[in-house]
Structure 1
Amino acid sequence: MSYISLFRQKKFSNCYLKMKKTLLIAALLGVVAISSCKKDTAQQPDTTTTAGINSVEAPTGFNWASTRSLNVSATITDTRFGATAIHRIAIYDGDPFNGGRLLAAGSATTANPFTTKITIPTALGTLYVVKTSADNSQIIQKVTPGPADIALTFGSIDPSITAEKAAAGKLQVMGGTPASPDCNSGCSTTITTSTSNVNVNSGNVICITGNNITVSFASVNGGTVRVCGSNVTLQNYNFQNGSNVYVTTNGSVNLSGVNFNSSSSTLSNWGTVNYSGSFPDNGIINNYGTMNVSGDFNINSNAGALTNNGTMNIAGSFNNGSSASATNNGSMIVSGNFQQNGGAGVFVNNCSLNIGGDYNQSSAVKNYSYIKVTSKTTINSSTTLNLYNGAMFSTQHFLLDGSTIAGNGSTSLLLITTGDAKVQNSGAIITGPISVCVKGNFSTAYMSNGAALDCDLYIPVSGCNPDGNGTATVKDTDGDGVPDNLDAFPNDATKAYISSGGTGTVAFEDQWPNKGDFDLNDLVMSYSYTVITNAANVVVQVTGKYSLLATGGNYGNGFGVEFPTARANVSGLTRGTLEAGQTKAVVTLFSNMRTVMANWNTQPGVAQSPVVKDSITFNVANGPTLASFGQDGYNPFIWNMGGDNKRHEVHLWGKTPTTLADQSLFGTGADNTNVAAGRYYVTTTGLPYAISIPATFSYPIEGTDITSVYLHFADWAQSGGTSYTDWYSNTATGYRNTSLIYTH
């Protein structure tokens, strides 16, 4: 046998160079060279562990996980489709309309909530939970995960979501509201008590923090007033010269008789504005809170724009006689008349507009959601009412006077609740995808391009539309109880939903029960799982995808995963081996990593092996529920025979061995496993033998302690995982030593 065949493969390059230098020396030097490189046939304690990892003192019981598990339940109170109707609950790790990844999905009814156990990165700050019903109506709840489990309730509508509906019909969570200012900083003057003769000049910031006070102004020449107190009355304030008033989230202000004379002046409200009398809007109004006007609301010729993202209550009429645009993204209630007479001015309704009097339109209106007129609607000559993507316009009386109603996108509804519907003068037309519902006779001669008489169009109830129309048609092709629009497998009654299992990378040390060098590259495997469930949220199929990144270990390690179901329940495994003799389902990908990856991918400058990709799929009979099966990385492990012909299994901290592991090794070497105490795979100093990262892991080069590479790893561990939760993903200065990270 040659010298080379005796060397450990992991140290091959370094040892081979030594051998070349000593090849002409006597055999004694060869023996010395060999002894400097560990063999694969005998496990020796690794004494190269650095002071860095040895100095880490993690709290007792710290599980070394960068993830946490949360139980999530979603209860349904929506009875629109019957008590047994199935609604789909889906959980995302971000905004589902902006790249959020689906974590879990399943059925919920009024009798049976959806429950699951998700595993998320500790650093993740937001979850989105979406209820979708048979009519495709959706309610979204945005959740900040904390230490407690998550319990949510979904009804038929969510009044808290004054969501903007884009022209494509896409529901958006209202997330565009800018943060409210405050009075904690940036104030040039702070007012806490009733004050008279206040002067505001350009560049000034006047902060009012007192409650139940009156502040009167001598002059306003630009500048900004922030109202943080409650029940603050402003007297003699004139919006001019680009002046601004900001009412903060906790603020409330009383106004009357103001002069709003500058198109560049702004009133922005996050709290409450109470205006006595008729409001003269000649500037810019941004309402994110509640605005109450006891008289009319008049948009005059100098106005910049009105944007309502909150609630506006107008006791009088709404009058837009200017070229200014007005946009309603929230709720607007007009007790009097609504008059849109502003020439080039456009009124855009993205949510709810409720009118107690008449609706008179002489300039453009675009309705993407819901307008309700209690009395009469008149659309005057040469103007257009546009309806978009399932919008609804409801009125008691109706006159189309030489004007146009145009449908755009999916079919919208014009609902005339009495028989009083008239069309007059040439040019009057209803065109495009519009259903016209009239309680009486109405000529179709004025309809074209898809417009038709129809009272059955289904419009779902929503946070913007409290009425809706018609009844949804529910189609369930495979008869499993899940409507086709909610069913990922509408033609297969055994399957219904796709959920994500764990996604991440697991990195091992292979010296167990002895302590390794903690470079965590003896075997590095990335993984992702997909779990398929049926209508009852029972697991029926599992797919795993794997990428073997590195094999820098002492031994020809095998790799496997134990899944939380009985071995007897598993069938149809597409690749890998369903290991015999196991109680639970254990799937192994290989029994010797050297047979699948020739090189180690841990030493800079040494030839690399390509990343080895593999995948498995298996079916589960009599399976557990998704909540029981879980959605993490399950129980991955490596094993080798350790030179003593015993099965040395290496698992993550706290994970249990498989049935075939040799448990006589527990408590030997550096291992501090205690079966009775439920403590597994941890050293006597509290270190793990493997870690799992919820990302693709950029692992250390050969022989480099992870604390030398990830500079906040020790801080994270010593905090019990509460600090530097992004130690593995943050690339900012001071987080990692990139020169010690192996590069593929």
Structure 2
Amino acid sequence: MKLTSIASLCILCSSGSVFAGPFENCPSKAFLMQDSVAKLYGIDLVSAKATTITASLTREGAANTSSVNAVGFNYKDQYMYGYSKQSPGSVVQIGDDYNMTELDVTGLPDTNFYVGDIQVVGTEPNQSAYYFVYTPNYGLYKIPLNGDLTQTINAIHYTGSENWNFKIYDFAFHPNSNLLYAMESNGNLHEINVNTATTTFITQLDTSGDSGAFGAAYFDINGQFYISNNKSGKIHKIDLSTSPVVGYTPTAAVFTSGPKSSQNDGARCAIAEVKVTDNSIDFGDAPNGYATTLADSGPRHLYDPNDDGQNLVYLGASVDGENINTAADLAAEPIDNSDDGVAFVTDFVGGQTTQVIVTASQNSYLYAWVDWNQDQVFSSDEVALDKVAINAGDNSLLIAVPETTLEGNTWARFRVTDGTEASNISATGGVSGGEVEDYEITTYASDAYPSESDWVTLSYEDKWPFAGDYDFNDLVMHFRSTRYKENGAIVGYRIEGEIVGVGATYHNGFAVRLYDQINASTQRRVARSEVDEANISFSIDGVVQENSPLEANRSDAIIIVMEDVWDYVQKNSGCQYFRTEVNCQNGSKVTFSVTIPLLAPKALADSPANVLDPFIFASNDHFHGEFMNNVDKRGWEVHLKNRAPTEAFAQSLYNVSGSDDASNPAGNTYFQTASGLPWAMEIGSAWQHPIENIDITNAYSKFAAFATSAGKNSITWYSEPQLSKVITSGAQ
């Protein structure tokens, strides 16, 4: 059922009574008194829903004009008590009609009390109740609430309490031990024994960055202590089920994000259970180790806070409420059919960046956590998205995966809100509005080439088998390959890169064969039949590509990244090429990413690694030289030096008249001139490529010595350019 206002739970007193009638029962809600002219709210601690009980109180039948503080709920007589600041300041009893009746209390100093609670001792029918108030420099006072309250009551001062060295804004009595507990703004938790008038410092709690006054404190029947921060509205929960605190150190967790206020004071029936009373609460459903249950301050959203079904904030196509809040609920492995708002485009691989598509009902804010180390805790250093603004509809987002990520199954948590929360939320606790969605995911360890955060540069000449202008800028790209590992075997690959220069007149495609040539007699390859084609994820410039990049009718796995590179790059105005001419250096790079899962794990020793086999090929329906007039365009390829071409290669191209190529398949030499110069290069870092029509041997004077020595001489040739002959922004 929906939450019911506490006001509806009250029995109205007769107009002739001196005192208003008591509240009918011991409500689960907490009372919250706020504002300089007191207003009374009911706070559902589970959902953070605030219900206005009364926008104004009366005092002795007249309008109240001031604040009321130090409130406490007396479950012996079912009244609230507080201290009214309205002159003359006095202790007041608050009944079910929200009229304050002054009590005649003597012995109190002339000051305002803003810290208070009710102690109930004994068992029915022999219970006694006492109202305790405290203020710094004056100390603690005890006011008996037994007998005839129309008579004068003498307040008892606790000698020495005026010297207590702490600053607190509310306290609450433990329902079992009758010890008082209070927390300072710095998180210092104190235990107060009113029988001995002594205080004990317990510990300094981590309050998730909250500072300032904790102005409302509550207990529940299980000894759980709740304390609300005025500034943020967060209600922190501290397990004090063992009281006094001996042999353990309490910790705090955000339980709910409630309303904030400059003036805040709370009261609650300490013997009432905190429980779910609303069916429009969406809970998380990750295993219980992830602090998912209500008892562990699990994540939950009151998704319809206004009870009108309008302007709801959620992920995916729908949101619904479910009462999944206990360990037994989670052990039953519930399925939340409304967890449909996050699609995982690429895998979670250590050291890489993964892409997710998040669908939102309206403009909102997204949080995410991933348990990278698989310890069943969403810790503060596992925040993947922290209040990221998203738009209504689909949103493409990137999540950085730490290099230390463990391989295996783990969980991710996504929470969406309208953004009005006073401070960023955590992976646990209640929020008014929004939705939580938990997902089981697989993370992978990896070995990346050259590393998780670096690139190699690939540079191609497309005049093969002729030398051409030999400026090595027909295609220039940064490139990285990654192998996904699980239990010591390879389960997939990822290839990614960014195009930084295209100086080609011809139209070329770019592809990568999952192939690694160790030596003349040893190759490692992935067969096309080993690839899980249905689950390949492929994007260019962050846009998911619907077509499969796995080339059809091949025995090897060949990934066609781009059929024609020119279809994706944008030349600057007045430029003939892309980032290869002077004054044409700053066009936007084109990025790509392809994740290729395997149908079954492949032995590490049999799996290609390192740069794999990236190559260019002639685009169909475009001229690529007279020698290609009678040759299938796909049959033209250029690979790295001494890397054998694919099965699609036209063998007749080894015999083109007048070519500069000295390939000799019988001798396992490919794509090099007689002097050893290549048509494709892998440079071990980002690189400044030559300006259009500048021969690489002129732009880099040591390149020829490197190439003709089979890489033995001048191995750092790429670090010594003639700056007037290279694109200086090429490495950026």
Q: Same fold (TM over 0.5)?
A: no
Identify which of structures 1 and 2 has the higher relative contact order when contacts are C-alpha pairs closer than 8 Å and 6+ apart. Answer: 1
Scaled by the length of structure 1, the TM-score of the pair is 0.33
Larger Rg: 2
Scaled by the length of structure 2, the TM-score of the pair is 0.34
